[in-house]
């Protein structure tokens, strides 16, 4: 189903990142909010970004209280919810993409409330069946992740935890011990959104995390153009891009502009 059925989800994610690891190269991981601007358009965007060079995907599940998201993603999430997008529909969209031949690893980005309401064990089982390889749950800390971790281990799927510039050494050690697939390193304090530049401390922050683990480190929040993707590639293993792509979807050229931006981001991450 995932193009590499003999591998676990964790292995597929690690393999996709490993293929891009090198001097000044990294994996490109775009964020797509499922059901936005519509179900059909979100499917088309994934297919477009796959062609443009995406190495793996972060698929957002709409939720009414997206605490970690800035104005762009909040507005997009509101639109997706108005479209009637549900957790079940997000799983169905992933299955549709797998059936259409998309082979890149899929990571579901969902807040914990929809997963809790769905039933964590059932959610992971259905997500695995739909073709997901891992999960990013911003409001689930490793201190409270035992149930999800156990279910993910049984299914061979990754559970990715987040670190931020404010994370203590104790928190860095806890997250690096429990995170599988990769570690999501938030580049800035605050919510998601386009930034004019990446912070000067990012190199040291990545080095601090890497000193504690061999798990790949992927950087998100604020990466918005090819130059910034190349900056991330010079120090980390993956560049995650969300708000810049959503902003572009809403622009005058829509899908064509998204594919163009995705190609530039991929080229920056891949060192081209």
Query: How far is Cα 20 from Cα 269, in angstroms, rounded to an integer?
Result: 9
For every residue of 115-145, DSSP letters joined together read HHHH-HHHHHHHHHHHT--EEE-TT--GGG-
The single residue of 5, 11, 58, 133 carrying the catalytic annotation is 58
Beta-carbon contacts of residue 148 (< 8 Å; ≥ 6 apart)? 115, 120, 124, 135, 137, 140, 159
Question: Which listed residue (5, 23, 51, 69) is catalytic?
Answer: 69
Angle at 110 between CA 135 and CA 55, to 5 degrees: 50
* CA pair distance 72, 246, nearest whole angstrom: 7
Catalytic status, residue 146: no
- What does each C-alpha distance from 247 to 19, 188, 242 come to in angstroms? 29, 19, 9
In degrees, to the nearest 5, what angle opens at C-alpha 158 toward C-alphas 157 and 163?
165
Q: Which strands make up the sheet holding 162-163, listed edge to edge? A: 158-160, 134-136, 106-109, 57-60, 27-33, 238-241, 217-220, 183-186, 162-163
Active site residue 177: no
Are 94 and 59 within 8 A, CB to CB? Answer: yes
The CA distance from 266 to 241, in Å, is 10
Spatial contact of 217 and 182, defined as CB atoms under 8 Å apart: yes
> Rounded to whole angstroms, how far apart are CA atoms 79 and 256?
21
User: Catalytic positions, please?
Assistant: 58, 69
């Amino acid at each position: 189903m995932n193009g590499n059925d003999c591998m676990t989800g964790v292995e597929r994610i690690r393999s996709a990142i490993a293929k891009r690891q090198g001097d000044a190269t990294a994996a490109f991981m775009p964020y797509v909010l499922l059901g936005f601007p519509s179900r059909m358009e979100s499917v088309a965007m994934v297919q477009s970004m796959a062609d443009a060079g995406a190495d793996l995907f972060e698929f957002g599940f709409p939720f009414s209280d997206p605490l970690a998201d800035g104005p762009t993603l909040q507005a997009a999430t509101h639109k997706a919810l108005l479209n009637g997008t549900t957790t079940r529909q997000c799983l169905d969209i992933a299955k549709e993409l797998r059936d259409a031949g998309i082979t890149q690893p899929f990571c579901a980005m969902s807040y914990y409330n929809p997963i809790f309401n769905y039933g964590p064990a059932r959610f992971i089982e259905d997500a695995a069946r739909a073709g997901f390889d891992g999960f990013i749950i911003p409001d689930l800390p490793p201190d409270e992740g035992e149930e999800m971790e156990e279910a993910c281990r049984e299914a061979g799927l990754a559970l990715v935890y987040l670190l931020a510039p404010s994370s203590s050494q104790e928190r860095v050690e806890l997250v690096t011990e429990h995170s599988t697939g990769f570690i999501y390193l938030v580049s800035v304090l605050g919510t998601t959104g386009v930034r004019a530049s990446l912070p000067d401390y990012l190199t040291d922050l990545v080095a601090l995390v890497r000193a504690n683990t061999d798990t790949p480190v992927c950087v998100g929040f604020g990466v918005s153009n090819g130059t910034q993707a190349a900056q991330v590639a010079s120090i980390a293993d993956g560049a995650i891009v969300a708000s810049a792509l959503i902003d572009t979807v809403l622009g005058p050229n829509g899908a064509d502009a998204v594919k163009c931006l995705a190609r530039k981001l991929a080229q920056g991450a891949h060192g081209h």
